[in-house]
Amino acid sequence: MLAYAGGDARAFETLYGRHKGALYRYVLRSVKTGGEAEELFHDVWLRAIEARARYTPQAKFTTWLYTIAHNRLVDHWRTRGLTVVSADEDESVPEPAAPPSSQPHLQLEARRTLERLAAALAALPLAQREAFLLHQEAGLGPAEIAQATGANEEAAKSRLRYAMSKLKEAIGDE
């Protein structure tokens, strides 16, 4: 980010390439609808671009980026009265790709597992889901999750533990 702020456009391309997928999925699973996710994703990156001169490497770039994303999401939720869009809307999350398997019954089982996981993830309370997504997608630990979401570390750790426990239960991995 410092290189980009210094005028190196390619540095941003590298950063973007590294983080775009994870950030997109984090936003997508936080709002559920593709249209909203794209709008918010775009907005988060624009804010990061505009704030480039104020970026200081006190924290990891990832934490900084997800702090911006979290704040944008919070604004989004607040303007909608904190209601989470239901999962059965028209613009729902695309069907996950099935894992490659040549055996139909294994393929079916894997698909069911993914469906259960997707449902359990969607059913998680907002804060727990966010903690899980930040952990899985951004690779953040409890301390960094706490930093990005403005929670204390114990709360972040607890949210993550609860989320993983519920998800493991959903996929039969206890």
Partner 1 sequence: MNEPGDKLSRAYRDLAREEPPSALDASILAASARALRRPSASRRWAVPVSIAAVFVLALGLTLEMQREQPGIETSAPAAGSIPPRAVAPQPAPLPQAEAPVTQSVPEAPRSQERARPSPKPQLSKPRDKLEAVAPQRKDTAIREEAAPAPAVAAPQAASPAPQAFPTQVNVAPLPAAAGAVGSMQAPPATAADMQRPSAESQSLKRMAPAAPAAAKVRTADDRELQLERIAQLRVQGRNAEADKALEEFRRANPDYRIPEAMWERVKPR
Interface region with partner 1, contact rule CB under 8 A, candidates 24-32, 83-91, 122-130: 24-32
Considering the complex, what minimum distance in angstroms separates the CB of residue 161 from partner 1? 8
Whether residue 66 contacts residue 26, with contact meaning beta carbons closer than 8 Å, is answered with yes
Whether residue 19 contacts residue 66, with contact meaning beta carbons closer than 8 Å, is answered with no
Decide: is 105 part of the binding site for partner 1 (CB under 8 A).
no
CA distance 173 to 167: 8
Q: Which residue has the tokens 């936080």?
A: 30
Decide: is 20 part of the binding site for partner 1 (CB under 8 A).
yes
Considering the complex, what minimum distance in angstroms separates the CB of residue 1 from partner 1? 11
Short-list 138, 122, 129, CA closest to 162: 129
Token pair, residue 4, equals 């980009």
Considering the complex, what minimum distance in angstroms separates the CB of residue 46 from partner 1? 6
CA distance 52 to 74: 21
- Contacts to partner 1 by CB under 8 A: 4, 7, 9, 12-13, 16, 20-21, 24-25, 28-29, 38, 41-42, 45-54, 64, 67-68, 71-72, 74-75, 78-79, 93-94, 96-97, 99, 110, 113-114, 117-118, 121, 135-137, 141-142, 150, 160-161, 164, 167-168, 171, 173
